[in-house]
Amino acid sequence: MGIQLYELVGAESERRFSPFCWRAHFSLLHKQLPFETIPWRFSEKEMLAFSGQGKVPVLVDGDRVVVDSWAIAEYLEEQYPQQPSLFGGLGGKALARFVTDWVETSLHPLIFCCVATDIYNHLAPSDRDYFRQTREAFLGMTLEAACGDRENRVLQLRERLAPLRQTLQYQPYLSGEQPAWADWVVFSAFQWSRAISPFPLLATNDPVFAWREQLLKAFDGAAQRSLAYAA
């Protein structure tokens, strides 16, 4: 049995929108490993019981079960060292952790406040109450309130991208001459948004937009061909 990846989807089983699942998805493509994706929804907790927890992504490779996008990348890098590297060595791996933490602390909260209601509207009806309740409890406000100010949030987000914008003056990708994990982890945040929302996060004259365009074309246009908005 080949590699299987459990991925979060919306009402449509092709609408993959979790940034964490996209990281694992791109890691497998980067490693040039064939894999099967299994659509999963929030209400299907029992489907993941074998993994000992209730979140995706979950990777199954033979008798190995790996959960968490970072752990999946670590596993693939160790298990398939002959395939293209996700980290480019130990120095690269340590700093890839920092890029991941930058995405999670600086970008994700703002992106969530741009797309939360769009996520809700694309979920299967069986997932909607769970999503609203858990996210509103975390935010301390309604999804609608969180998204109410997205015209300003997106401007803050563009400011937060300043370090990436500056790096792209020195090299074509965060990871250097070719994209690797650090690029995929940032790109997955954009893929999360465009999979679920028509709201554009980037101005078309932003160097980050041009970088994103290149990554949309990678792997024979895997991200471009996925069910998403043109945003």
Least separation in angstroms between residue 164's CB and its own copies is 7
Looking at beta carbons only, is 9 or 157 nearer to its own copies? Answer: 157
- Give the pair of three-digit tokens for residue 193: 């948004």
Site string for its own copies, 47-86 (x = CB under 8 A): --------------------------------------x-
Classify 115 as helix, strand or coil.
helix
Looking at beta carbons only, is 124 or 139 nearer to its own copies? Answer: 139
Least separation in angstroms between residue 173's CB and its own copies is 8
- Give the pair of three-digit tokens for residue 220: 């024979």
Site string for its own copies, 162-191 (x = CB under 8 A): xxxxxx--xx-xxxx---x-x---------
Count of residues of this chain found to bind its own copies when the rule CB under 8 A is applied? 33
Long-range contacts for 66-70 (Cβ within 8 Å, ≥24 apart)? 68/20, 69/20, 69/21, 69/23, 69/24, 69/27, 70/97, 70/100
Alpha helix ranges (H) inside the chain: 19-30, 69-79, 90-102, 108-122, 125-139, 143-147, 150-160, 162-167, 181-196, 207-225
Q: Report the candidate in 92, 94, 108, 98 with the shortest Cα–Cα distance to residue 180.
A: 92
Looking at beta carbons only, is 34 or 91 nearer to its own copies? Answer: 91
- Give the pair of three-digit tokens for residue 174: 């965060």
Least separation in angstroms between residue 140's CB and its own copies is 18
Looking at beta carbons only, is 28 or 99 nearer to its own copies? Answer: 99
Site string for its own copies, 92-131 (x = CB under 8 A): xxxxxxxx-xx-xxx-------------------------
Q: What are phi and psi of 6, to 5 degrees?
A: -85, 125
Site string for its own copies, 138-167 (x = CB under 8 A): ------------------------xxxxxx
Q: What are phi and psi of 200, to 5 degrees?
A: -80, 130
Give CA angle at 158 (211, 175), nearest 5°.
35
The residues of the shown chain that bind its own copies, judged by CB under 8 A, are 85, 87-99, 101-102, 104-106, 162-167, 170-171, 173-176, 180, 182
